[in-house]
Structure 1
């Protein structure tokens, strides 16, 4: 008789002391046949190119390539501020006219004209690309309150574009008439919609143009359609060092109604009170704000 295990069971009856060896049943291996080739040139399927993989689309010679969707810019240029500089002595006449006129539309010269005669002539000769209009037929706006021509006045530095009157004036003698791209575009669209001929044929829409630099410059590029003007603004705003936007201009054809001017920027409280006095005789009541940084040379901040 076999000896008992520690659990009191005889022989090898204890499953704990003598566990049974479990043998796994054999699993029959299925034989796989190699795929039948239609010809000796057919490649064998590999891991990289399994036989069950969907076939790639075949491009037919001469067929047009699929068009990829263009990336949509997230830069909203509508809120870009634009700035028209004028001497405070000109403000009363502008308010009486009810609008800012392009240089070519003026019947009398401003009380203080900051443009040199040569500058006015070059702008009369230069055409806005894609149009038959000269630059002088547009009202110019800066795209920055630190535009280079304005900086020349602030710093009292020589600039051939400026008249002697501008050189002899202090920066606080000027005011900034401010609007936005959206405000101007909406205003021009409203004027175009309201202005129709007797046969109800809509007039040609008035479109702004955006330049890459001085509008009279020979190398200056123009965006003179809604799409190209928007792209030009996006390019200027995205530039790393911001140098181009200091030279760039937004041009508005013909005239700009004063109701599109939302803000008048001035240098100090005394000028603000003077401007408010001028506005009392006018139907236009834009906000008048004191913002000294616009009127000090960039060299003063260093």
Structure 2
């Protein structure tokens, strides 16, 4: 039986192009207040629109877009979409793939101890079926921990809700200070050096940056044959 891990890691990912501005601000901002901070936006326009209209039914309320989103596990459905869009050359969306994405890693325990306002979900926050909770002790049963640990999480005939549950989120209201991060993760050693250089350019101490290729899909662009 797979239970809630201790500590319970949470991870937010962003394009490496955004890291310099994030370091300058010293925090992550919610989608509704991020403004020009994002040099490269990897989010899907239609999903972001739904999140701006999806109310959070428990305190501190507001809408999903008013929170900084974190996942409880790597290789999320969102990252899968990004990797597939790159592989397939899908028009009208971000096509850079998941290789340039950097994970910013913290834990539920750190956020809770810091007294920040947060809300957890049992699945994709853009879906009406998803439920929310602000109770720390409810996380053990709210989130489908075995599914989050599974390598394959696609919907199957006997369970057509797996993809939604695999996208369970931990939402931090308005802002997330970077001093609550445990470290960063990237796909390759080359990206690791890039992240360290961003910190050096900002005059900051180099952080812990782990190379975690298993946290990525890494699909290559398909050749177009005519």
Q: Distance in 1 between matches of 2:19 and 2:66?
A: 20
**Residue of structure 2 in register with 1:27 after alignment:** none
Q: Secondary structure at the match of 1:79?
A: coil
Q: Distance in 2 between matches of 1:163 and 1:182?
A: 40
Maintained 8 Å contact 1:272/1:290:
yes
Deviations 1:51-95 (A, max 9, x none): xxxxxxxxxxxxxxxxxxxxxxx9555512111110000000000
Residue 296 of structure 1 pairs with residue 217 of structure 2: yes
Shift of 1:284: 5.7
**Residue of structure 1 in register with 2:38 after alignment:** 110
Q: Distance in 1 between matches of 2:87 and 2:67?
A: 25
Instruction: From the CA coordinates, give the structure whose radius of gyration is larger.
Output: 1
Structure with a larger share of its residues in strand = 2
Residue pairs, 1:222-261, within 5 angstroms: 222-233=132-143, 236-238=144-146, 242=150, 243=153, 244=162, 246-261=166-181
Count of aligned positions: 204
- Of 174, 194, 208 in structure 2, the residue corresponding to residue 287 of structure 1 is 208
Structure 2's unaligned 5+ residue stretches are 154-161, 220-226
Residue 175 of structure 1 pairs with residue 96 of structure 2: no
Maintained 8 Å contact 1:222/1:229:
no
Residue pairs, 1:7-26, within 5 angstroms: none
Report runs of 4+ in structure 1 exceeding 3 Å deviation.
74-78, 155-159, 162-165, 227-231, 238-245, 282-285
Q: Distance in 2 between matches of 1:240 and 1:288?
A: 23
For the aligned residue pairs, the C-alpha RMSD in angstroms reads 2.9
